[in-house]
Structure 1
Amino acid sequence: MKDERGLYYHPQAGNSQARVYVRRGPDGEVEFRLWQADHPEVWERHPWLSLDVLHSAARLYQTERNREADPLRLYDLAVARALLRESEA
């Protein structure tokens, strides 16, 4: 899907209030950015991030806050690549 912010997918089935936007970064790498209707400040505070950066941040989050949480479930590289291929075709 696409809107004024760019290409996105819904990371949680049935939840249209959260979107993960995807784009190609300067090096051609897939980048992600989270938007949530109930927390619009997330979009403002967090820039576009590569999957490597997200992995590093997830490790910190899991050890410092909640060992059971897995924020990486929101970021799907296969879905992102499929969206980008479609839009670039």
Structure 2
Amino acid sequence: MKDALGLYYHPQAGNPGVRVYVRREADGGVAFRLWRQDLPEAWERHGWVPYAVLESAARLYREERNPDADPLRLYDIRVAQALLQEEGQ
């Protein structure tokens, strides 16, 4: 899906109040940005985050806090790549 903020998907089925925006970076990587209807200031405070940074943060989280957690469940690289490919990016 696409709106004035960019290309996005809903990471939680049935919850249109949460969106993850995706874009292609200059180096060819993928970056993500979270938008939440109930927390609009999050969009302003947090910029685009490359997927490689998200992977590193998730790895640290699992090592230091919870090995069973999946912090990347909101940031689906396969969905992002499919959306970007559909848009010709």
Query: Per the shorter chain, which TM-score range?
Result: 0.7 to 0.9
Q: TM-score, normalised by structure 2?
A: 0.85
Q: TM-score, normalised by structure 1?
A: 0.85
Please name the residue that 1:76 is paired with.
76
Q: Please, which runs of 5 or more residues in structure 1 have no aligned partner?
A: none
Q: Distance in 1 between matches of 2:82 and 2:41?
A: 28
RMSD (Å) for aligned C-alpha atoms: 1.7
Gap runs ≥5 in structure 2: none
What is the match of residue 30 of structure 2? 30
Q: Could you report, residue by residue, the CA deviation over 1:11-59 in whole angstroms, capped at 9, with x for unpaired residues?
A: 0111100000000011111111110001112111211111111122234
Matched residues, number:
87
Q: Distance in 1 between matches of 2:45 and 2:61?
A: 16
Distance 1:57 1:49 in 2: 11
3-state SS, counterpart of residue 88 of structure 1: coil
